[in-house]
Amino acid sequence: MLKRIYDWCVDAADKPYALWILAAVAFAESSFFPIPPDIMLLPMSLARPKRAWWFAAVCTVASVAGGVLGYAIGALLYDSLGQWLIHLYGLSDKVDAFRASYAEWGAVIILVKGLTPIPYKLVTITSGFAGYNIWLFILCSIVARGGRFFFVAVLLNRYGDVIRAELEKRLGLWVAIGAVVLVLGFVVAFKLI
């Protein structure tokens, strides 16, 4: 099954709909979807290493746009459901301290977490909840997400053949490692937030 999905992504790299699917996954991952766009970015870039830059650019733009939706979710849910939950759990006195620390360290949080396997939707929603400056959020998101996706593009553009051979030889192992990293990212993110 993994091999079929991988082969589909590799074969889809030349299809006109592939960029739309890649963009949709990158958009959704930044706001509500648990699967990172790397599941498509990697095989598509391995199939077409010269287009890895274009794929990274599409991921960056779509991820930042999805991040704005995640920001809106955090901001809007705070006004409707968030305040009620905070009062219910008796955390009303901690909201101002959280917002103050996020105002001070928000750029660092966005940049660091945007580059890591920690699910980015948690950063986007938290930024909206904390009322972080939207324009600074967008700028930090462009830097962080662009850095992450273009790093992948550089690696796959330069070492794509070696990486593809290794990946295809041990696909199950690399998917398992990716799944563990994704789960650990969620665990770390929940402990840090």
**Domain range annotation of the chain:** 2-192
What value, to the nearest 5°, has the Cα angle with vertex 78 and ends 77 and 84? 105
Mean pLDDT of the chain: 81
pLDDT in tens, 157-174: 887 777 767 777 776 776
Would you say how long the chain is, in residues?
193
Distances (CA, A) of 68 to 7, 49, 99, 193: 32, 29, 18, 19
pLDDT in tens, 97-134: 777 878 888 898 888 888 876 778 878 888 888 889 99
Please give the Cα distance from 65 to 70 (Å, whole number).
9
Residue 104 phi, psi dihedral angles, 5° rounding: -80, -40
User: Whole-prediction pTM value?
Assistant: 0.78
Please give the Cα distance from 75 to 130 (Å, whole number).
8
